[in-house]
Structure 1
């Protein structure tokens, strides 16, 4: 999910039925939090556990990302864990120079669906997934890829070597540019005045905005179909297929979303990582450490440089998704060292 998408989904919406007891908190533009300190401006994204909002910090006259967790007990526990990790990260980086998202504040907010833990994070821009899509899944210039990799590795070095933290879910959605691709959407650069009170008669935010969002999406699909039809008739031209000019985009980026992070000496889950970025030792259940983040990083670097995922495994008749994933890895890298696996694998898999 992204912070500023921090950790908001890139796709669709969170659905009406999750706004209930134990679920999301319905937010409207102009709603106040933490005794009026933070005022909701617009929705940035959502995740399985939370929604994320752009908010105006009236104390510091600044914009922040407000992450509002679902209220059920398991989500509260998850938020407490994330706050612990983020607090530890912030404590070790007072100058905010390590390219990892900064936690600014956290508090509880009571609503009709229960009590929600809220995190206030620095506002960041679009995810690397959004950048890849913006560039029409074409290869990004290698000098830009190197620049982004430098920032990601700076963040990983800080997490691993200085703090002993494993992220466990590194992927393009969880790395955010420091500013938005479109400057007009950046609250700092756009020059727009903050909303300080709820608009009269507005239907912004929360559940009601989902109706508008779905209508907009339906209209977009209709336009896309027309464009597709015109393209097949040879009318669309080359602009749609060519890469975008990304020279003016700030390539600085930060690692976000620590909901699944763990300390190297205190791990919680055996199965970690999003499928396409999952390391072989995780698939083989042979124990894991910092190297799993490095595997995910390498997959991301490949994706930035080519526009394609390095591994996209699929299950089929007679073989599982795990087996296909391992086979794809071996096609690229050769057989697995025997020490990697604690599972009884056929010799065809092993050196």
Structure 2
């Protein structure tokens, strides 16, 4: 149980926990992934879906997509626009995700758990320089529970808030499992987002400057195009490079009066052309300044860009360079926390009435499938997945217990490490056995990988010495919780940590837990 970062060697590695005060990520997508089959290059002010969505700023990124805050001019509201990489494998995954999200959206909007799952608003295709991209729009949500943990300095979120979060997530899972037939497969703090009341009122104020600058840039661009058209109409086809605009005074001597008159008229005409050309250059300079202004605008006061090998990383049509616009999650502190209150504890009371939503169904699947492939981020992975047993929605409940423990303590419940004679999976199973003591026969013999970890007697092959401890003792001794609290939390978590997945508690059963009964 440590607060250290997760190894990147896992298929579903968690975001690293850093000891910094900022809730923003210092890392961005790899510029090398802006290629055929990769990310679509996006600039602030870009329009999507026949001009319906205007990009305001970047919210985040993943290995499969980038996510942007956009204004929907049809509804005059903001959306989170997800643009998926264009390679076939990403497109196929996106189409499956859309099917799952459409099911979530249509199955039962009146269900009590419906409101605790992030909703898909629309989807469409966008063709760009790197291919054809699946795009999805979602309701705009705030920071994740990981960011909320950071606000509490990894010392644990207050119990009443964790209870409220737990009840809402369980209701969301109940809707996904029982009504939609969907397994999330990657439940963790990063994938549960905070809902922000009156979000539109805030966004419209904060993005007004960006939208104004975008309009100014577009107006300047339109003006520049009109000048170009006028110039072409006036002067006809472009003059050849060797053309002389007018003769010198010496060359003009000896001309007839009529020839001199025509020469004077021609000179006046060419002067007008030169002035128009200069005006067009001025307009282009002004357009460049407006574009730079838009690129430099940031609602969350983050750096405007990062660089790779000294190259500015933003899609810039004027320079041909590529620049990665930095992510900037919606900062709840600037929206919810009262600025006129100095006492931090008083300011944090705003989270007493927190509302959260389960997000990111990118790895989700239907419950009626036959699955044995690896799912879940390492620290939240269930035992049946590790040994290669067939798994289903019960895997989400194991992750749920691990997440609640982490919210309460600020540390992982299980944080396996490889040793000289065993790997991470060995250590993960050992940590589970130390806490839960018994292991069902289905895990020791029925999994595709069971024989890699267990001998014929059901003992671990590679780790012989185990240090047994009860969950309530961990809570009491390590995290100094009063005995009654430790007992109550342990009683809440253990039904979800049943090693035999067939005996693991469901969301609807957990909603009846005494630990949640004081939450309205």
CA contact (8 A) 1:262 1:268 kept: no
Q: Deviations over 1:78-131 (max 9, x none)?
A: 110100100110012435843111000000011111111100011111001111
Which whole-Å CA distance do the structure 2 matches of 1:305 and 1:154 have between them? Answer: 19
Which whole-Å CA distance do the structure 2 matches of 1:139 and 1:150 have between them? Answer: 17
Which whole-Å CA distance do the structure 1 matches of 2:396 and 2:39 have between them? Answer: 30
Instruction: Tell me what 2:49 maps to.
Output: 34
Which whole-Å CA distance do the structure 2 matches of 1:81 and 1:10 have between them? Answer: 28
Relative to the length of structure 2, the TM-score reads 0.57
Which whole-Å CA distance do the structure 1 matches of 2:53 and 2:420 have between them? Answer: 53
Instruction: Tell me what 1:303 maps to.
Output: 406
Which whole-Å CA distance do the structure 2 matches of 1:25 and 1:73 have between them? Answer: 14
Q: CA offset at residue 268 of structure 1?
A: 5.6
Instruction: Tell me what 2:69 maps to.
Output: 54
Judging by fraction of residues, say which structure has more helix.
2
* CA RMSD across the alignment: 2.9
Q: What does 1:1-351 align with in structure 2 at a 5 Å threshold?
A: 10=25, 12-94=27-109, 97-179=114-196, 188-189=201-202, 191-194=205-208, 195-196=210-211, 197=214, 199=217, 200-202=290-292, 204=295, 209-211=305-307, 245-249=347-351, 250-267=353-370, 270-341=373-444, 342=446, 343-344=450-451, 345-346=454-455, 347-349=458-460
CA contact (8 A) 1:98 1:158 kept: no
Which whole-Å CA distance do the structure 2 matches of 1:77 and 1:215 have between them? Answer: 25
Q: 1:88 to 1:216 in 2, by over 3 A?
A: closer
Which whole-Å CA distance do the structure 1 matches of 2:201 and 2:362 have between them? Answer: 27
Instruction: Tell me what 2:231 maps to.
Output: none
Q: 1:10 to 1:310 in 2, by over 3 A?
A: farther
Relative to the length of structure 1, the TM-score reads 0.82
Q: CA offset at residue 324 of structure 1?
A: 0.2
Structure 2 gap segments, 5+ residues each:
1-13, 16-23, 218-289, 297-303, 314-322, 327-341, 462-498, 500-520
Which stretch shifts more, 285-294 or 9-18?
9-18
Q: CA offset at residue 209 of structure 1?
A: 3.2
SS at match of 2:350: coil
Structure 1 gap segments, 5+ residues each:
3-8, 218-238
Q: CA offset at residue 340 of structure 1?
A: 2.9
Q: CA offset at residue 153 of structure 1?
A: 0.2
**Over alpha carbons, which structure has the higher Rg?**
2
Which whole-Å CA distance do the structure 1 matches of 2:394 and 2:99 have between them? Answer: 23
Q: 1:288 to 1:307 in 2, by over 3 A?
A: same
Judging by fraction of residues, say which structure has more strand.
1
Which whole-Å CA distance do the structure 1 matches of 2:86 and 2:324 have between them? Answer: 28
